[in-house]
Amino acid sequence: MEKVIAVAASLSVFITWEALRPFFAFGRGHWYRAASNAFVGVTNTVLGRLLFAWVYARVFAAFTTGRVGLLGLFDMPPWAGIALTLLLLDLWSYWWHRFNHTVPFLWRFHRAHHTDTEMGATSAYRFHPVEIIFSSVLRLPLILLLGLKPEGLVLYETILTVSVAFHHANIGLGPRADAMVRSIIVSPVMHKLHHSDKPGEFSSNYSSILSVWDRIFGTWTETEHPEGIRLGLAIYRDNWWQGYRGIMLTPFRGSASLPAKANKADS
Q: Give the per-residue pLDDT at 73.
A: 76
User: At residue 147, does pLDDT exceed 90?
Assistant: no
Q: Give the pLDDT of residue 265.
A: 38
Query: What tens digit of pLDDT does each residue of 240-265 get?
Result: 999 999 999 999 988 777 766 443 33
pLDDT band at 131 (very low <50, low <70, confident <90, very high): very high
Give the per-residue pLDDT at 262: 42
- Greater confidence (151 vs 35) lies with 35
Q: Contact, 183 vs 211, CB < 8 A?
A: yes
Q: Where are the domains of the chain?
A: 2-22+42-251
pLDDT above 50 for 16: yes
Residue-wise pLDDT for 166-211, tens only, equals 999 999 999 999 999 999 999 999 999 999 999 889 899 999 999 9
124-152: average pLDDT: 90
Band the pLDDT of 266: cuts 50, 70, 90. Answer: very low
Per-residue pLDDT reduced to its tens digit, 55-90: 887 777 766 666 677 777 778 888 898 999 999 999
* N-to-C CA span, the chain: 41
Residue 3: the pLDDT is 72
The pLDDT mean for the chain works out to: 89
